[in-house]
Homo-oligomer: A and B are copies of this chain.
Amino acid sequence: MVSMPPLHDIAHLAHVELRTPVPEQSLEFFTSYLGLSVTGSAGDSVFLHAWDDYEQTTIKLTAHATSGVGRTNLRAASPDALERRVKEIQASGRGVGWADGDPGYGPTYVFTDPDGHELGLYYESAWYSPPAGQVPALKNQAAAYPAHGVPVRRLDHINYLGAEVVPNRDYLVDALGAMVTEQIVLDDGTTAGSWTTFTNKGYDAVYTRDWTGTAGRLHHIAFAVDSREGILRAADLALDHDVFIETGPHKHAIQQTFFLYVYEPGGNRIELCNAGARLVFAPDWRPLNWTEAERAKGQAWGLKTIESFHTHGTPPVA
């Protein structure tokens, strides 16, 4: 039993690979609407960067037969932390092995969660160096603030669908040191959703139950926008730029996130959420369980959850 708090071996959620059957249209969405910039490409993938990301890649967008999520990357807090966590993963039997990182990233240990979603853990990372035209006026910023699109600040969190929530949640906690902050627990005792964090943010990785029982699907990935007004403006922008709004803007009761859900052209659900107003500082945080009765009240201000929110997901890796 290690005496130190296990929480901080994972520094943060890092770049995520997203797959799309319509790569050109998806690229247009990520650049023109979300305001990401293209930093390079390799094979079927294009690398995209959000202006406040200190690393080289925020999204790896890969042409594929289907939509869905590819590898989710996590950055370890130190070389020692990386080593410790790889040992835990290997002991769990879910390790796949070391791989070269994406361009700009060091060796990455590949593994899966119990649901089969692919993850990668690394420490070495070459910081983003903005090209001419993207050099920011203030040097404490990764890249210049884009003059178009929303623009989103950084990746905020990922929400997986899981055939079951508990084994996946426990894996994040046991193998990676995540802390559970909030959950949905049904009247029959089933945990239908679990929000976990590696940082002072309320959540970085979420599992919600897949009503179809399928393993490995994606519910959504979320990008941070600085203010609620910024999210309202993103909705205005969506309206005039053929971006499909699924629901919102509104405020979740869970985590109190102000949200807007849209679909990118490939079918993946994308959330825009307000960044960081609510932070979790308690080292002895007590997970909050939301009941069916509480969920029945709808979102924070009473909006009933839209049906597709319970059904739409994008497929697992074939």
Interface centre among A4, A77, A145, A254 (most CB of B within 10 A): A4
- Residues of A69-127 at the interface with B, using a CB-CB cut-off of 8 Å, are 75-78, 80-81, 125, 127
**Is the C-beta of A182 less than 8 angstroms from some C-beta in chain B?**
yes
0/1 interface trace, chain A 282-299, chain B, CB 8 Å (1 if under): 111010100000100000
Q: Is the CB of A139 within 8 A of B279?
A: no
- A: contact size bracket: 35 or more
Q: How far is the CA of A238 from the CA of B302 in the complex (A)?
A: 11
Q: How far is the CA of A80 from the CA of B283 in the complex (A)?
A: 12
Q: Is the CB of B281 within 8 A of A245?
A: no
Count of this chain's copies in the oligomeric assembly: 4
Partner of A255, one of B140, B148, B253: B140
Q: How far is the CA of A245 from the CA of B229 in the complex (A)?
A: 20
Q: How far is the CA of A276 from the CA of B202 in the complex (A)?
A: 12
> Shortest distance in angstroms between A266's beta carbon and chain B's nearest beta carbon?
19
Q: How far is the CA of A229 from the CA of B283 in the complex (A)?
A: 31
Q: How far is the CA of A301 from the CA of B233 in the complex (A)?
A: 11
**Is the C-beta of A21 less than 8 angstroms from some C-beta in chain B?**
no
Q: Chain B: which residue is nearest A280 at the CB level?
A: B54
Q: Is the CB of B11 within 8 A of A282?
A: yes
Q: Is the CB of B254 within 8 A of A140?
A: yes
Interface centre among A137, A245, A300 (most CB of B within 10 A): A137
Q: How far is the CA of A149 from the CA of B144 in the complex (A)?
A: 14
Q: A228-B229, A249-B250 are in contact. List 7 more A-B contacts (CB 8 A).
A: A4-B78, A5-B78, A11-B282, A153-B277, A199-B281, A201-B279, A227-B229
Which residue numbers of A lie inside 8 Å of B, CB to CB?
3-5, 7-8, 11-12, 32-33, 52, 54-55, 75-78, 80-81, 125, 127, 136-141, 144-145, 147-149, 153, 182, 199-201, 226-230, 232-233, 235-241, 245, 247-251, 253-256, 258, 275-279, 281-284, 286, 288, 294, 300-303
